[in-house]
């Protein structure tokens, strides 16, 4: 019996979520799992367009919308209208380096709070963003 590959796992995950595993969907989800760089639509498109010549940004938007609706990906908005996509959907915070622009996941255990309610108000979702200089950029200076 052959071992299931990452591509097989991705295909099976899409099927399990009721999503037809088209080439565009498979490659987009594979990209998100492989890079974990909180990409924008442009970043995904630029990475995949040589491999899928018929790909369009509209297709990427539609694929990501479908993934969000299925609970596979979450959309994060950092600084106004900068929309990025995160494959890690468990609760966590984000750190954005103001020097290089990279975004890093910060586990909640490193954050001072993970509230379920505040002042009698039920919290359904928490988004925490930190901004500063990442350790890689600090090393360069």
| Tens digits of residue pLDDT in 77-97 | 887 788 999 999 888 889 999
What's the total number of domains in the chain? 2
Residue 123 has pLDDT above 90, yes or no: no
Q: Of 84, 104, 130, which residue sits at a domain end?
A: 84
Same domain, 80 and 121: no
Give the C-alpha separation, 69 to 64, whole Å. 9
| Tens digits of residue pLDDT in 11-24 | 999 999 999 999 99
Q: Which domain holds residue 104?
A: 90-140
Domain CATH for 44: 1.10.10.10
pTM of the entire structure? 0.83
Strands 121-122 and 117-118: antiparallel
Same domain, 73 and 26: yes
Same domain, 47 and 103: no
Q: Measuring CA to CA, how many Å separate 135 from each of 35, 62, 102, 104, 138? A: 19, 35, 11, 11, 5
Rounded to the nearest 5°, which phi and psi values hold at 106? -125, 115
Any domain includes 1: no
Q: Measuring CA to CA, how many Å separate 27 from each of 44, 45, 55, 110? A: 9, 10, 11, 32
Q: Helices (H), strands (E): how many in the chain?
A: 5, 7
């Amino acid at each position: 019996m052959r071992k299931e590959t990452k591509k097989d796992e991705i295909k099976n995950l899409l099927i399990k979520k009721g999503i037809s595993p088209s080439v565009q969907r498979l490659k987009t989800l594979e990209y998100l799992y492989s890079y974990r760089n909180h990409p924008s639509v442009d970043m995904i498109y630029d990475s995949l367009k040589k491999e899928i010549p018929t790909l369009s940004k509209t297709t990427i938007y539609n694929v990501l919308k479908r993934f969000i609706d299925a609970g596979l990906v979450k959309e994060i908005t950092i600084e106004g209208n900068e929309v990025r996509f995160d494959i890690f959907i468990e609760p966590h915070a984000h750190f954005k380096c103001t020097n290089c622009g990279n975004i890093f996941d910060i586990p909640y255990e490193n954050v001072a709070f993970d509230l379920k309610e505040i002042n009698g108000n039920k919290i359904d979702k928490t988004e925490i963003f930190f901004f500063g200089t990442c350790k890689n950029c600090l090393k360069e200076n």
